[in-house]
Amino acid sequence: MPQFVPITQDALVERLIERIHPLSGYRVIGVDGADAARPTDFAGRIADAVRDTGRPAEVVSLHDYVRPASLRMEFGIDEISYRTSWFDYEALHREVIDALHTDGRWLPALWNETTDRSARAAIRTALPNTVLFVAGPMLLEHSLPFDLTLRLDMSEPALRRNTPSTDHWTLPALLHPQSPTTPTFSARWDHPDRPALHLPD
């Protein structure tokens, strides 16, 4: 049975900062979580804490790397389409993670999910020692070369409570992750104001 200990969000941020601090150079941190867990918001909180240490930090949302609607919905909406067709993980790998690691630059957004058009975002040049947080669902299922990872886990009841009914079709993919990557940190996020940190076996 997994072992969890209560922790505050502030204490979790401090643990992450302790692990990030010795990682010099350009670094990319993955914050994996269902939309119901609001991973982008928590990534922003960690980024603020990194900036407080005097180091540049930015956040990229996976929802800015969705595929066009014609590709997302080509075969209907179900668990398989959400896993394989909804987000452009390959572009995220190429335009964000690899681009920052090798060239010190990144593309903050590829596709506008609301307008279903190109985001037309400009490539950004990173300041020295920039820490870039990438946040969104199923990030750990695609062998992306993150330098550090955090998974925000939610149980089925919590996911159902916090996911709009129109999006419940996404739950099977979120509840049964196919993750080849073990997260550096994992937290139970059913009640974000009272998270619990997973202790390694």
**Residue 115 CB burial class (10 angstroms; 0-12, 13-18, ≥19):** exposed
Q: Binning pLDDT at 50, 70 and 90, where does residue 2 land?
A: low
Q: What percent of the chain has pLDDT over 70?
A: 98
- Residue 161, pLDDT score: 96
**Which has the higher per-residue pLDDT, 200 or 158?**
158
Domain boundaries 3-199, corresponding CATH code? 3.40.50.300
- Residue 201, pLDDT score: 57
Task: For residues 59 and 191, give the distance between their C-alpha atoms in angstroms, rounded to a whole number.
Answer: 23
Nearest-10 crossing angle of helices 9-20, 39-52: 60
Contact (CB, 8 A) for 36 and 136:
no
- Residue 181, pLDDT score: 76
Q: What is the pLDDT of residues 27-65, one digit of tens each?
A: 999 999 999 999 999 999 999 999 999 999 999 999 999
- Residue 178, pLDDT score: 80
**For 167, what's the count of Cα atoms within 13 Å in the CB-facing half-sphere?**
13
What is the pLDDT averaged over residues 159-187?
91
**CA-based torsion, 170, 113, 94, 19: positive or negative:** negative
What is the pLDDT averaged over residues 115-141?
96
Q: Binning pLDDT at 50, 70 and 90, where does residue 141 land?
A: very high
Does the pLDDT value for residue 138 go beyond 90? yes
> Which of 23-27, 75-79, 128-132, 154-158 shows the lowest per-residue confidence on average (mean pLDDT)?
75-79
Contact (CB, 8 A) for 67 and 190:
no
DSSP states along the chain: --EEEE--HHHHHHHHHHHHTT--SSEEEEEEE-GGG-HHHHHHHHHHHHHHTT--EEEEEGGGGBPPHHHHTTT-SSHHHHHHTSB-HHHHIIIIIIHHHHHSEE-S-SEETTTTEE--PPPEEPPTT-EEEEEETTGGGTT---SEEEEEE--HHHHHHHS-GGGGGGHHHHHS---SS--SEEEE-SSTTS-EEEEP-
Does the pLDDT value for residue 1 go beyond 60? no
- Residue 123, pLDDT score: 97
- Residue 199, pLDDT score: 82
Q: Which residues, at least 6 apart from 166, have a Cβ–Cβ distance to it below 8 Å?
A: none
Task: For residues 9 and 46, give the distance between their C-alpha atoms in angstroms, rounded to a whole number.
Answer: 10
Farthest-apart Cα atoms in the chain, separation: 47
Q: What is the pLDDT of residues 76-99, one digit of tens each?
A: 888 889 998 999 999 999 999 999
